[in-house]
Amino acid sequence: MLTNFEQIANCFAHPAPACLTQPSILAAYTGAFGLAVLLAAPFGWRMAVRDGHAALRTFRRLALAAIDIVLTCAVVLVAFHYVRPDALAGVERVPAWRILWQATVYALAIGGLVGGAAAGFALGRLGARLSGAASRLGRLGVVIAIDGPAASGKGTLAKRIAEHYCVPCLDTGLLYRAVARDVLRAGRDLSDTAAAIGCAKSLNPATFDDPALRGASAGEAASVVARIPGVRAALLDYQRDFARSPAGAVLDGRDIGTVVCPDAPVKIYVTATAEERARRRHGELEKRGENVRFEDVLDDIQRRDARDTGREVAPLWPAKDAFQLDTTHMTIDEAFKAALDIIEQRLAGAAPPPAG
């Protein structure tokens, strides 16, 4: 008389039709399924806490994989039963049918394990959501507004946050840089209001990857055209349309939280001392092979700060309900972690800072 363990081992070594009906085999399948659920649940919880979008994508992939495997096995079993009535009794005698049967039994076992993993992942994800620990960024239309002065690190921070939550990111500064570039290429002066507004209205997003937009001179030129009210008005609709992405969005600039997306649930104002920002920008320029003096970079930073904060339309200023993040003494990794903490706290229901 074979023990339960011996029956299970025998079935996996030599799969036969009886393997699907023996109580010990069914119990083994059930136990394996339950173990997969228990092992996957903590992973579902942790991923839901840190990244709601990634957790949902992982669950869908596991569930679809399990469904594909089980449906394929079901089709084979139906074929065995209906295409050839004596097939189930004869699978052990016909080599081709025996191989197919054995493959189906193994696939069914794998499908059960994948299904268990999907169920456990879903259970962990559900637990995280019900407990309030899960990331809320997966809700439709959540916008993160990141503002700050030049070289504060807001652009790098915005990209990393967008990658973390798998949402689109818009560097709105590129829009103004592109407008300034197009004005100069048209042979017009940056202070030419009509030319600047015309370029803003005909802006081509496909050109935003132009390397010329990354230089210091492009930033200085952008600061000039950004003072023109008609340019800001022309670009406002583009920015707001981007923010309406169903998956949510991250936008960085100088007036995102105050003008572009004043109702954004998360607003972060990133800043640092002028000297630290000049040091960072100087290092970036040196890496690109540009020979510039630190003093010149600092003068440029201070000049842009004065221009951005002093303009009449949409001046650079933190929104009243923005969290302020001073990155003067932070590495990019430390700033990123601090920003994530702010985002998760805000989306979990933490009140914004009191208006200053």
Q: For residue 278, what are the CA distances in angstroms to 252, 287, 328, 349?
A: 19, 14, 11, 36
Domain ends where: 77, 101, 131?
A: 131
What's the pLDDT tens digit per position in 171-203? 998 999 999 999 999 999 999 999 999 999 999
Same domain, 59 and 149: no
Give the model's pLDDT for residue 39.
87
Give the model's pLDDT for residue 311.
80
Give me the helix-helix angle, 52-78 and 95-131, nearest 10°. Answer: 150
Task: Mark 94-107 as b/e (b = at least 16 C-beta within 10 Å).
Answer: eeebbebbbebbee
Same domain, 211 and 336: yes
Question: What letter would DSSP give residue 206?
Answer: G
In a domain, 208, yes or no: yes
Same domain, 115 and 150: no
How far is residue 282's CA from residue 100's CA, in Å, rounded to a whole number? Answer: 67
Yes or no: say if 34 and 116 are a contact pair by the CB < 8 Å rule: yes
50 — phi, psi (to 5°)? -90, -35
346 — phi, psi (to 5°)? -65, -45
Mean per-residue pLDDT for 100-108?
74
Same domain, 179 and 37: no
Same domain, 174 and 127: no
Yes or no: say if 151 and 297 are a contact pair by the CB < 8 Å rule: no
Give the model's pLDDT for residue 126.
82
140 — phi, psi (to 5°)? -65, 140
Rounded to 5°, the CA angle 153-315-231 comes to 95
**Of 42-46, 69-73, 105-109, 174-178, which has the strongest mean pLDDT?**
174-178
Q: For residue 127, what are the CA distances in angstroms to 47, 49, 121, 275?
A: 12, 10, 10, 47
Same domain, 113 and 147: no
Q: If you search the block for the tokens 């560097």, which residue do you land on?
A: 171
**Of 49-58, 103-112, 310-319, 331-340, which has the strongest mean pLDDT?**
331-340
Domain limits for position 214: 143-347
Same domain, 56 and 179: no
Give the model's pLDDT for residue 1.
40
Same domain, 123 and 176: no
Tokens of 164: 């973390």
Share of the chain above pLDDT 70, in %: 81
Range of weakest confidence among 75-79, 161-165, 261-265: 75-79
Tokens of 175: 């829009």
Same domain, 155 and 260: yes
In a domain, 332, yes or no: yes
Give the model's pLDDT for residue 93.
52
Share of the chain above pLDDT 90, in %: 34
In a domain, 330, yes or no: yes
147 — phi, psi (to 5°)? -120, 165
Give the model's pLDDT for residue 140.
42
Same domain, 333 and 199: yes
Same domain, 337 and 194: yes
Which long-range contacts does 2-5 make (Cβ < 8 Å, 24+ apart)?
A: none
CATH number, domain of 268, equals 3.40.50.300
**Of 18-27, 28-37, 296-305, which has the strongest mean pLDDT?**
296-305
In a domain, 354, yes or no: no
In a domain, 138, yes or no: no
Other beta carbons less than 10 A from residue 26's beta carbon? 12
Yes or no: say if 262 and 319 are a contact pair by the CB < 8 Å rule: yes
pTM exceeding 0.75: no
Same domain, 293 and 326: yes
Higher pLDDT among residues 228 and 86, named by residue: 228
What's the pLDDT tens digit per position in 121-164? 888 878 876 765 555 555 445 899 999 998 899 999 999 998 88
Give the model's pLDDT for residue 252.
95
Beta-bridged to residue 268, according to DSSP, are 146, 323
Residue 2 has pLDDT above 50, yes or no: no
In a domain, 136, yes or no: no
Mean of the per-residue pLDDT values of the chain: 82
Mean per-residue pLDDT for 298-317?
87
Mean per-residue pLDDT for 255-259?
93
Mean per-residue pLDDT for 72-97?
63
Domain ends where: 108, 131, 154?
A: 131
Domain ends where: 79, 102, 131?
A: 131
Handedness of CA 241, 242, 244, 245 (dihedral sign): positive
How far is residue 41's CA from residue 39's CA, in Å, rounded to a whole number? Answer: 6
Yes or no: say if 48 and 124 are a contact pair by the CB < 8 Å rule: yes
Yes or no: say if 167 and 53 are a contact pair by the CB < 8 Å rule: yes
In a domain, 25, yes or no: yes
- What's the structural domain count of the chain? 2
**DSSP SS3 for 188:** coil
Give the model's pLDDT for residue 12.
58
In a domain, 337, yes or no: yes
What's the pLDDT tens digit per position in 213-238? 877 788 888 888 988 999 999 999 89
Question: What letter would DSSP give residue 64?
Answer: H
